[in-house]
Chains A and B, each alone.
Chain A
């Protein structure tokens, strides 16, 4: 039941977002090339925008995966935390400490620098 109402919210909002665009766009003519060309501050494009692109921050995204996995364990941990008491603090503290070493190492290696 709850998921059904959530689905209704999703469909209503998605529908409203598309309905605001769709009828208005149908009757519009295609603009000329000078407007359709990608804006480059006066320059003309000599390649497709969907080129190969070096994402300089990709090591950071790898580090994120480690933390995302940790987050997966953290949800059930949070629910039983008070019940388990100090043992839970210790366990997650150790886990976080190990991951923090990863952050320090990544920082030293310049993973978060973006150039």
Chain B
């Protein structure tokens, strides 16, 4: 029974959180003086309705089933990711004994979904976007798993509920100060948002989505913000103590923490300059990966 309630909550959070990201992104753009159109609260809905009614582009010889599958698959990965997040000690869709491993596999499969999206259009710019994402995705996945293993060490379990329970005294964001900043960078990479938007960037005329319009484009954009929401759920669980907090009920605390992570990501996405793709791989392997080793050793010594 609890699992079904949690499932409803998960899909609700995907929808509300996705809308919140879209609004926050426009509000931040407005506050920074960048041009954006119309009322920030209505614009995401208007764009959604417009995309749904627009004709979908077709390329000369696309891999049609894969082209339609890729956005839906990416959306499904986001939903599965959020399904792993415990809203309270009992309110969780699936509290797997291997929860952290499953999240890692979702990140790896996201690479497949995004490459499929770029590949199946059979257009050069989309394909280049796909190949770029593979380079980026393979580089940050290690950083992601090292910092997540860092939060597993004190919990002595790969269960996300245990990871939260182990933060009863002190949240991991304080105990392992390198963890959350590194993980936020991974989040920007996973959704190719802001500075790490190499797959769908404007220098590729939209990258993997350059040939996509209409309803498939709508699903693709929904899937991206949904992945951002799922990522914020994992970040809040792993580093910000999940459901823990005084006075308010657990699920509300988690929702507030997720919102905080989402706002931070939307802000970072707007204020950081976009990275040159050819520098990205070096940065990930030579700077961020050693930093994640340091985080892991720090977490290990702290947990003993």
Q: Which residues of A line the B interface, CB within 8 A? A: 1-3, 5-6, 8-10, 12-14, 16-18, 20-22, 24-25, 28-31, 33, 35-41, 45, 48-50, 53, 55, 57, 60-61, 63-64, 67-68, 71, 74-75, 78-83, 85-86, 88-89, 92-93, 96, 100, 103, 106-107, 112-115
CA separation between A59 and B55, bound complex, in Å? 41
B277 & A114 in contact (Cβ 8 Å cutoff): yes
> Is B168 part of the contact surface with A, judged by Cβ < 8 Å?
no
B83 & A9 in contact (Cβ 8 Å cutoff): yes
CA separation between A113 and B149, bound complex, in Å? 28
Task: State how many residues of chain B have any CB contact under 8 Å with chain A.
Answer: 82
CA separation between A17 and B293, bound complex, in Å? 38
B76 & A41 in contact (Cβ 8 Å cutoff): no
A21 & B301 in contact (Cβ 8 Å cutoff): no
> Is B190 part of the contact surface with A, judged by Cβ < 8 Å?
no
Contacts of A49 in B (CB 8 A): 121-124, 126-127
User: Do A53 and B304 contact each other (CB < 8 Å), given the known contacts A14-B75, A64-B142, A81-B153?
Assistant: no
CA separation between A14 and B107, bound complex, in Å? 17
Contacts of B281 in A (CB 8 A): 57, 60, 112, 114
CA separation between A37 and B203, bound complex, in Å? 19
CA separation between A102 and B38, bound complex, in Å? 52
> Is B145 part of the contact surface with A, judged by Cβ < 8 Å?
yes
Q: 18 new A-B pairs (CB below 8 Å) besides A6-B83, A17-B222?
A: A3-B94, A13-B75, A24-B56, A24-B214, A25-B215, A28-B55, A28-B214, A38-B60, A40-B124, A49-B124, A55-B134, A81-B156, A82-B303, A82-B304, A89-B301, A89-B304, A103-B289, A114-B278
Q: Which residue of B lies closest to A75 (CB)?
A: B101
A96 & B293 in contact (Cβ 8 Å cutoff): yes
CA separation between A53 and B135, bound complex, in Å? 14
CA separation between A61 and B80, bound complex, in Å? 26
> Is B218 part of the contact surface with A, judged by Cβ < 8 Å?
yes
B72 & A39 in contact (Cβ 8 Å cutoff): no
> Is B197 part of the contact surface with A, judged by Cβ < 8 Å?
no
> Is B71 part of the contact surface with A, judged by Cβ < 8 Å?
yes
A82 & B156 in contact (Cβ 8 Å cutoff): yes
26 pairs from A and B in contact (CB 8 Å cutoff): A2-B95, A10-B79, A13-B11, A17-B73, A21-B56, A22-B68, A24-B214, A24-B215, A25-B214, A28-B56, A31-B57, A38-B121, A38-B122, A38-B125, A49-B124, A49-B126, A53-B131, A60-B281, A60-B285, A74-B145, A83-B156, A103-B285, A103-B289, A103-B290, A112-B286, A113-B282
